[in-house]
Amino acid sequence: MRSHERNNGLPMKSKLLLRAVLSLSSLAATTSAVAADCAPLARFEVAIGGFFGPSFEVRAEGPAQLVYRANRHSFVTAPGTKQTKIKVSPAQWRAFCAEIEDIGVWSWKSRYENSSVNDGTKWSVRMQFGANTLDASGYNAYPEQERFNRFLRAVRELIGGREFR
């Protein structure tokens, strides 16, 4: 065998295969750590809405079901609010948890406010997964906008593409 085909006693193809397996193992361990950090679900309540526009709320009723409430014209406490129960699988929760970890939601401040805007958008996020807890809200102000938009997309994916904005 040629000397350039061996390195540390292993053929080059075996080394490449070993690297790929180690990379996949590392990815699986990272995914398991994220999933472990997000379980078990203790609390999940998110809401967003405005004074003159639609409002939405999602809350967990146990780990396998969400309640989605939407009102196209007012707050979800007003007449005309529609309510839907949504089944959520462990795989959906894992995907959501991985996304919120990547977004960095656990480091959000508890309050964001822009008092110079009247009658704007109000939002809140109250969730607890394992040791991670977040209780954040805002009025016409948000965490870094792209991260907040990613969070809204993650919620929409969790609720099967339903409106949440």
Q: How far apart are CA 32 and CA 39, in angstroms?
A: 10
Q: Are residues 28 and 53 in the same domain?
A: no
In a domain, 163, yes or no: no
- For the chain, percent of residues with pLDDT exceeding 70: 76
Which tens digits make up the pLDDT trace of 16-41? 444 444 433 333 333 334 444 566 88
Q: Are residues 150 and 103 in the same domain?
A: yes
Q: Are residues 85 and 22 in the same domain?
A: no
In a domain, 63, yes or no: yes
Which of 138, 113, 114 has the alpha carbon at shortest distance from 48? Answer: 138
Q: How far apart are CA 14 and CA 158, in angstroms?
A: 40
Please check whether residue 138 is in contact with residue 111, taking contact to mean a CB–CB distance below 8 angstroms.
yes
| Residues written for the chain | 165
Q: Residue 2 contacts by C-beta under 8 Å, 6 or more apart in sequence?
A: none
Q: Are residues 94 and 119 in the same domain?
A: yes
Mean pLDDT of 117-134: 92
Range of the domain at 143: 38-158
Q: Reply yes or no on whether the pLDDT at 139 is more than 70.
A: yes
Mean pLDDT of 8-19: 49
In a domain, 64, yes or no: yes
pTM here is: 0.77
- Number of domains comprising the chain: 2
